[in-house]
C-alpha cells in the first residue's frame, strides 16, 4: 500500500468484479442499440479501458474534459467544458463513463448538454457513487460501488494529478491534502 493511503476501500479483485458486473448490465441494455461511450477525462480512463474490453458489442468511443475542481478537494460548482466530443451525438444512445459522482453537478450539466446536442438517450455509468455529497438530484444509471464521504484516489482518481496509477481505490490520508 502507498505511504499516503490510509486504507484500501476497493481492492483490485473488487474492481474486476465491479467491471464485469457492469459490463453484463450494459451489454443487456444496449444489445439492440447503436451507442457511444463517452469517457470523462481524466479520471475515467482506467475504468473505461477495463469496461470497454468486457462489453461484447459494437460501439464507438469519445472523450470529454469538463472541470469543476481545479486542484482543490471541493467542487467549485461551475462547470466548464474544456474539450468537447469529436463525434456527433445526434440520434445516438450515449453512455457516459465517469470515475465518481460526487455533487452531481458535472454529470447533470453534461447529460443536459448532450441532450441539447441531439442525443437520443444519455445514461451514466460510474465506478463510485458518493450520494452523501450530492448537491443536485442525480442518480447514475449504473453504479459500481457506493462509497462513504472520504477523499479517495487510485484507479484513475487523483489528488492534484497524483495517485491515478494505483491499482486499487484508497482513502487518502488527510495530512496529504489539509
Q: Can you say how many angstroms the Cα of residue 78 is from the centroid of all Cα atoms in its chain?
A: 18
Contact 173/8 with Cβ under 8 angstroms? no
Q: At what angle do helices 45-54 and 12-30 cross, to 10 degrees?
A: 60
Contact 114/131 with Cβ under 8 angstroms? no
Q: Is 54 exposed, middle or buried (0-12, 13-18, 19+ CB in 10 A)?
A: middle
pLDDT at 76: 55
Cα separation, 36 vs 125, in Å, equals 12
pTM: 0.92
pLDDT at 68: 74
- For the chain, report the end-to-end CA distance as a whole number of angstroms: 21
Q: What is the DSSP letter of 3?
A: T
Q: Domain residue spans in the chain?
A: 11-150
Cα separation, 134 vs 140, in Å, equals 12
pLDDT at 75: 53
What b/e sequence results for 119-131 when a residue is b if at least 16 CB atoms lie within 10 Å of its CB, and e otherwise? beebbbbbbbbbb
Cα separation, 135 vs 54, in Å, equals 32
Q: What residues are labeled active site?
A: 102
Bridge partners (DSSP) of residue 171 are: 7, 152
pLDDT in tens, the chain (178 residues): 899 999 999 999 999 999 999 999 999 999 999 999 999 999 999 999 999 999 999 999 999 999 875 545 555 568 889 999 999 999 999 999 999 999 999 999 999 999 999 999 999 999 999 999 899 999 999 999 999 999 999 999 999 999 999 999 999 999 999 8
Say which CATH class 11-150 falls into.
Answer: alpha beta
Amino acid at each position: 500500500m502507498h505511504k499516503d493511503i490510509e486504507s484500501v476501500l476497493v481492492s483490485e479483485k473488487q474492481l474486476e468484479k465491479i467491471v464485469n458486473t457492469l459490463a453484463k448490465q450494459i451489454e443487456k441494455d444496449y444489445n439492440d442499440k447503436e451507442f457511444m461511450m463517452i469517457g470523462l477525462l481524466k479520471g475515467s480512463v482506467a475504468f473505461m479501458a477495463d469496461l470497454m474490453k468486457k462489453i461484447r458489442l459494437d460501439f464507438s468511443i469519445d472523450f470529454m474534459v469538463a472541470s469543476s475542481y481545479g486542484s482543490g478537494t471541493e467542487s467549485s460548482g461551475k462547470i466548464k467544458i474544456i474539450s468537447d466530443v469529436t463525434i456527433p451525438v445526434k440520434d445516438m444512445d450515449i453512455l457516459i463513463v465517469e470515475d465518481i459522482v460526487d455533487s452531481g453537478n458535472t454529470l447533470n450539466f453534461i447529460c443536459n448538454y448532450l441532450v441539447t446536442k441531439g442525443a437520443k438517450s444519455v445514461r451514466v455509468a460510474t465506478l463510485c457513487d458518493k450520494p452523501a455529497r450530492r448537491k443536485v438530484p442525480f442518480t447514475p444509471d449504473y453504479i459500481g460501488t457506493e462509497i462513504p464521504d472520504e477523499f479517495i484516489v487510485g484507479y484513475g482518481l487523483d489528488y492534484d494529478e497524483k495517485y491515478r496509477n494505483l491499482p486499487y481505490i484508497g482513502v487518502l490520508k488527510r495530512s496529504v491534502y489539509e
